[in-house]
Amino acid sequence: MARASGKPLTFDAICRRAGGRRHYNKQRQVMAWWRRLQLWAALIRSDYGIPPGQIAAWAAEHKVSTKTIYLDLRQQRIREAQQLRQAIFERVVTRRGGFPFSK
């Protein structure tokens, strides 16, 4: 029989503890999914531009660390999308011989 803090645990107590842990972990997963969805929407609104201080603002808004926001951005491959957009822009500029919207 398992023991916690010197008290023997019953099978029922062990199952309730595991159920609580599963519930807590599921809540964390849902909050992470929601946070990533909101980050994605904010990035689309800003045309994938991240101004200085925005990472910290998002972290404070969602009550997580800046590292968590960076990991969310890495998971969504935002940096790769930014680099791809920049490469496309540079190709257009070189092909037209200047800024693409100039006459």
What is the reported pLDDT for 100? 55
Q: Is residue 101 part of a domain?
A: no
Q: What is the pTM of this model?
A: 0.63
103 is a domain residue: no
Q: How many domains is the chain built from?
A: 1
pLDDT tens sequence for the chain (103 residues): 555 666 778 888 888 889 999 999 999 999 999 999 999 898 888 877 788 899 999 999 999 999 999 888 888 777 777 777 778 878 877 776 666 555 5
User: For residue 53, what are the domain limits?
Assistant: 8-96
- Assigned domain for 46 exists: yes
Whether residue 2 is contained in a domain is answered as no
User: Does the residue 3 lie in any domain?
Assistant: no
| Residue 102 counted as domain residue | no
Q: How far apart are CA 58 and CA 63, in angstroms?
A: 8
